[in-house]
Amino acid sequence: MNIKNVAVAGSGVLGGQIAFQTAFHGFTVKLYDINDEVLAKAKKRFETELSENYKTDLKASEEEIKSTLERISYTANLAEAVAEADLIIEAIPENVEIKKDFYHKLAAVAPEETIFATNSSTLLPSQFAEDTGRPEKFCALHFANEIWIYNTAEIMGHPGTDKVVFDTLVEFAKQIGMVPLEVHKEQPGYILNSLLVPFLSAGWNLLVNEVADAKTIDKTWMIATGAPKGPFGFVDMVGLNTVYNIDKNKAEKTQDPFTIKKVQYIKEHFIDKNKLGMSTGEGFYTYPNPEYKQEDFLK
């Protein structure tokens, strides 16, 4: 299988990064989202913030950025987005019903040979395999935030994934500058989030139970370990809407008292105020120059 044309569904923080990284490495990319307004925001982010990040962090030239931007097109028409796609990467909200509905719609318009991949960070491919209408061509392909720096790509199939499809995605990951991490058995959280989520959960426990404030928690971790950011710097990068959606689903299923309390906290302090982290310019910190990157933060 040879991948040339890629569609990305979802123009949020990570979906946008996936599209830009893929185009940067020479692939033709169509970015799909539900309306032109959100696509326009993504396009602006590409032309400013992401372009500058690639110039600063990867020493990308003006010509490389220009070529990258020219390889990306935008559409709110799903059929148009996937008409020529060899691969579509889904990066829409972490909500089971939303994803299932999306895959039903996608299956009706995508070419038979198109590979489907989910960028889900918590949900398993087997939860959606039948909804895709092509379970053998469906796999997880999960990226970390700030994809151009933290260049991991976790590839995780389900029991019905064709090995050729799995291997194709491993090779594709290499072609777009990723380090492919093969996950050989379905595991919620894959590798990265199986390690990261307990760390972030410990931070949330300290915050929501009023043991310490967010900046003190981050400062403690950064000083003691030498890490570049603490748990709430990570939360801003992941996106508070993503955390909220995941925990809201968990709270509804388990009725766990702490999770309910945490969801209410996130809604009141962040969701209702549209403070979603890096994507909106404010979460626990303000961006593009968060306090934790300033020299006196650790004093």
User: pLDDT by residue (tens digit) across 18-38?
Assistant: 999 999 999 999 999 999 999
Instruction: Please say if the pLDDT value at position 4 is more than 90.
Output: yes
90, 94, 154, 282: which is the annotated catalytic residue? 154
b or e along 61-77 (b: 16 or more beta carbons within 10 Å of the residue's beta carbon)? eeeebeebbebbbbbbe
Percentage of residues of the chain with pLDDT beyond 90: 91
Cβ–Cβ under 8 Å, residues 249 and 241: no
Task: Decide if 154 is catalytic.
Answer: yes
Task: Decide if 274 is catalytic.
Answer: no
H or E stretch at 182 = strand 179-183
H or E stretch at 42 = helix 36-45
11, 120, 193, 279: which is the annotated catalytic residue? 193
Q: Rounded distance, CA 223 to CA 220, Å? A: 5
pLDDT score for 249: 87
Task: Decide if 121 is catalytic.
Answer: yes
pTM for the full model?
0.81
Task: Decide if 142 is catalytic.
Answer: yes
11, 120, 121, 241: which is the annotated catalytic residue? 121
State both tokens at 254. 């388990």
Whether a cis peptide bond, with omega within 30° of 0, leads into 111 is no
**Closest by alpha carbon to 197, among 149, 262, 261, 252?**
262
Crossing angle of the two packed helices 13-24 and 62-70, in degrees rounded to 10: 110
